[in-house]
Structure 1
């Protein structure tokens, strides 16, 4: 993060502490972009060498800071919505998609790049994203149909219902974004994305799996078709979950 970006972030955080102040979508969007980039688990140096916790030294400590900034931003969005500041569907969608994906990278304290603090912070981020979307759980957020995820608080803000429904069907956009990050050629460099996929997959129901199988099946096959035993086992678990749920 550059000096200018750091100053911008500090200014925004000061504004977030003023409960009465409104914040612009542009400010929030650019800040979230900076923070998420800084928060993500870095790629491995050599994809052909099995990784250990020593490959991720310092990652969890850095993520603790970034995840708490993300949480503060989402809390501000929730506060603003409760006080009738309206955000565009595209802005909310981008917040949900990007913040959920980065939180998924740290959601399990047993992963080599995580600890209890990052797991708790990630869970808090996901819970607060559910609040933004008027959902009760991650399962509901990831499995709702378009009509189930319409933001009831914004029915009268002049946005057509059809536009709201399309914008708030988040799982499609989450999986589209994930497929941009995770593909056949690079997946072994990003073990955190491999585990994020497994976490998301376990929260999907039969309908969602069926509707988005074209996004969900390839990662399982990438993981299965690998020489490392732990990846083969994970790939089998992913395929078994898909077959069992379908």
Structure 2
């Protein structure tokens, strides 16, 4: 075992600026003295020593050391400070609060990934030794337990920082982080990362509260952008904690989620909205409505509807669809009577944007989510029929590419609208019938790259709309289609008309 680099580094730790070197209390075990000095070496502001070589020597020392020598009489605080110092050494470089978006894998981040892989290897050796020490009579769980409790949260944050593909990671650092997290979960007697964070049952407290305690200082308005990994650690950790555990931590997770979603960068907005969506799905409605939390979330999401990014709009609409029932339930409980609901407000704004939207990506997002809003309002969709009709007619007319997501979504919207607001449909029959027949003809005669399965889906959706219109108009569609059937020579179109005529 070569420890020359480690020895040289520790000798370099002499008095600085004329002061006396920091020393641990007298009569401490040799291992604690060594680890204490190494912690000082890697602590913030310490420099001038060959840290990369020391790190490799430290890994060799931990791997080869006897458990009794390493942990006998060891103070959990000393080991905790060492882990924290190494964690900081492997962290991505800090950024300015309003720095531009993260760069690619440049030399700075490549060096961070290599440091993280080396630090992760040391942590792996340390966990292996802690597991081995549990079985020794002279140490056992009473000695190892407090040490493990002191280091498990920093080890988790290190693993979550480097476990996924980021600018500051590479294949080696990700592999080490994944192995470290799996070993940490086993060492704590848990079966999964979620169990490690939330506890094995509702009465048992997991480590999520302690992890959030460490992240708290980095998730404030003035600090959350400095460490580029903080938002990813938070957003990767939050989904692991579900109902009913998450409600215990609502005050800790809601403010940072709102903070991230309120950023000016779209990628951060999407990240924050996804965190809010997880909270909405996994926190009881009563807790969300307390102190008007649900209203705060609603207004934050509603403001994002003015954005122009399709991924953000999709995330916001999906979150709103799950939040709106909670708001309406709170309204009923408070016996508030309003001419319109939050769902009406959202749908009104969405239809306004849809009517003027020309970008296909946004048209597809709007059309995919529109049926769910119609289902939510039910018969109350009659309030929006005038504008909704204009949107349906406009979207049926425009081809939006090989998959035809927008037109398929609009056909589903029309079906839902007819089912819920059927008394209002007969007066709109001439306009809707003309639009559907024109779309059927356009799809049948399309010579582009539209797949046959997509053509079949469009024709089937249009046929279903015609059947529903015929039912609510007491057979008027059958009468109007008789002349079309007799004069049409296209078998595919005749087949669609025949299905309508034969339907009873």
TM-score range, shorter chain: 0.7 to 0.9
What do you get for the CA RMSD once the two structures are aligned? 2.7
Q: Does 1:38 align with 2:89?
A: yes
Candidates 213, 220, 225, aligned match of 2:262: 225
Q: Per-residue deviation at 1:91?
A: 2.7
- The residue correspondences of 1:110-125 to structure 2 (distance < 5 A) are 111-125=166-180
How far is 1:11 from its partner? 6.2
1:243 and 2:307 correspond: no
* Structure with max Cα Rg: 2
**Unaligned stretches of 5+ residues in structure 1:** 150-167
Contact 1:130/1:137 (<8 A) preserved? yes
TM-superposed deviation, 1:29: 3.2
Structure 2 residues not aligned, in runs of 5+: 1-5, 11-37, 39-50, 284-504
Cα-to-partner distance string for 1:109-167 (whole Å, 9 max, x where unaligned): 2x221122222211111111112211111111011068976xxxxxxxxxxxxxxxxxx
**Structure 1 residue aligned with 2:119:** 66
Find the aligned partners of 1:40 and 1:99 in 2 and give their Cα distance. 12
1:1-246 to 2 correspondence within 5 Å? 3-4=9-10, 5=38, 10=57, 13-19=60-66, 21-24=68-71, 25-26=74-75, 28-45=79-96, 47-53=98-104, 54=106, 56-84=109-137, 85=139, 86-87=142-143, 89-109=145-165, 111-144=166-199, 169-246=206-283
- Kindly indicate whether the alpha-carbon contact (under 8 Å) linking 1:28 and 1:73 is maintained by their aligned counterparts in 2: no
Greater relative contact order (Cα 8 A, min sep 6): structure 1 or 2? 1
Residue 22 of structure 1 deviates from its aligned partner by 4.0
Count residues in correspondence.
227
Structure 2: distance between partners of 1:146 and 1:82: 27
Contact 2:257 2:276 in 1 (8 A): yes
Q: Structure 1 residues 20 and 231 mapped into 2: Cα distance closer, same or farther (>3 Å)?
A: closer
TM-score by length of 1: 0.81
After TM superposition, give the deviation of residue 211 of structure 1 in Å. Answer: 0.4
Q: Give 1:46 deviation, angstroms.
A: 5.5
CA 1:70 to 1:15, structure 2 compared with 1: closer, same or farther past 3 Å? closer
Deviation for aligned residue 1:49: 1.4
Counterpart contact for 2:59–2:122, Cα < 8 Å? no
**Deviation at residue 170 of structure 1 after TM alignment:** 1.8
Question: Given the two structures, how large is their TM-score scaled by the length of structure 2?
Answer: 0.42
